[in-house]
A and B are shown apart, each in its own frame.
Chain A
Amino acid sequence: MEEKPLKAKSLGRHVSGKSSEPDIRNLWTTATLSQPKLNVPLPSVPEVSELEGSSLSGKTHGWYKQKKASHYSDSSWKETDDKDSFKPEQDVHRRSSLRSHIEEGDDDINTKAEKPSSGSSLSILKHTPHRAYWVEQQNRLPLPLTELMENEALEILTKALWSEPLSQLPQGALGDYAGLGPVGAGFQDVSALDSLTTSQYYRSPTKSYRSGIGWDHFLTKQLQRYIERLKRRQNKRLHVSLHRVYPGHTPSAAKYACAPLARRRRGGDLHEGPPTGFTGSAPTRPGTQALPAPLA
Chain B
Amino acid sequence: MKLKKGSFLWYLYLDKLYCLLSVRNVKALVDYFHLLDVHRKNTLNDILFYHFLNHVTDLKRKQITTVFNMLDWNAEGEIGFDQFYMLVCILLAQENHLGEQFIFRHSRPVFELLDVKGELKIGPANFHTYNFLFNIRKQQLRELCRNFDISGDRRINYKEFKLFTIFSMDKYQERQKAKREKKEKALIKKKASRQVNASPRVSHGINGSESLSNYNF
Residue in contact with A205 in the complex, picked from B8, B61, B73, CB distance below 8 Å: B61
Partner of A212, one of B34, B47, B66: B47
Please name all residues of chain A whose beta carbon is closer than 8 Å to the beta carbon of B54 when the two chains form the complex.
Answer: 159
Our pick among A192, A212, A287, A294 for the contact of B21 (Cβ within 8 Å) is A294
Given contact pairs A287-B13, A291-B13, A149 touches B28 in the complex (Cβ within 8 A):
yes
Residues of B within 8 A of A149 (CB): 8, 28, 31-32, 35
Chain B, 101-140, CB within 8 A of any chain A CB? 116-118, 129
Is B62 close to A, CB under 8 A? yes
| Chain A residues whose C-beta falls within 8 Å of the C-beta of B69 in the assembled complex | 195, 200, 203
Measured CB to CB, the closest approach of chain A to B38, in angstroms, equals 5
Chain A residues within 8 Å of B129, by CB: 195
Interface residues of A in 193-213 (CB under 8 A from B): 195, 197-201, 203, 205-209, 212
In the assembled complex, the CB of A206 is this many whole angstroms from the nearest CB of chain B, namely 6
Query: Which of B20, B55, B75 is within 8 Å of A200, CB to CB?
Result: B75
- Give the bracket for the number of chain B residues in contact with chain A: 35 or more
Contact with A along B19-37 (1 / 0, CB 8 A): 0111111011001101111
Given A195-B129, A291-B22, does the pair A145, B34 have CB atoms closer than 8 Å?
no
Q: If A291-B28, A295-B23 touch, does A88 touch B34 (CB 8 Å cutoff)?
A: yes
> Which residues A228-278 have CB closer than 8 A to chain B?
230
Contact A141 B31 (CB under 8 A): yes
Asked whether, in the complex, the Cβ of B46 is within 8 Å of the Cβ of A206, the reply is: yes
| Contact of B11 with A153 in the complex, beta carbons under 8 Å | no
A209 to B64 CA separation, bound complex (whole angstroms):
17
Closest residue to A87 on the B side, CB-wise? B40
Do A207 and B50 have beta carbons less than 8 Å apart? Answer: yes
Min distance, Cβ B24 to any Cβ of chain A, angstroms? 6
Q: In angstroms, how far is the closest chain A Cβ from the Cβ of B205?
A: 44
Q: A69 an interface residue at 8 Å Cβ cutoff?
A: no
Which 6 residue pairs spanning A and B have beta carbons closest together?
A294-B22, A153-B35, A294-B15, A160-B51, A96-B31, A159-B51
| B interface residue numbers (CB < 8 A to A) | 7-8, 11-15, 17-18, 20-25, 27-28, 31-32, 34-40, 46-48, 50-52, 54-56, 61-62, 64-66, 68-69, 73, 75, 77, 116-118, 129
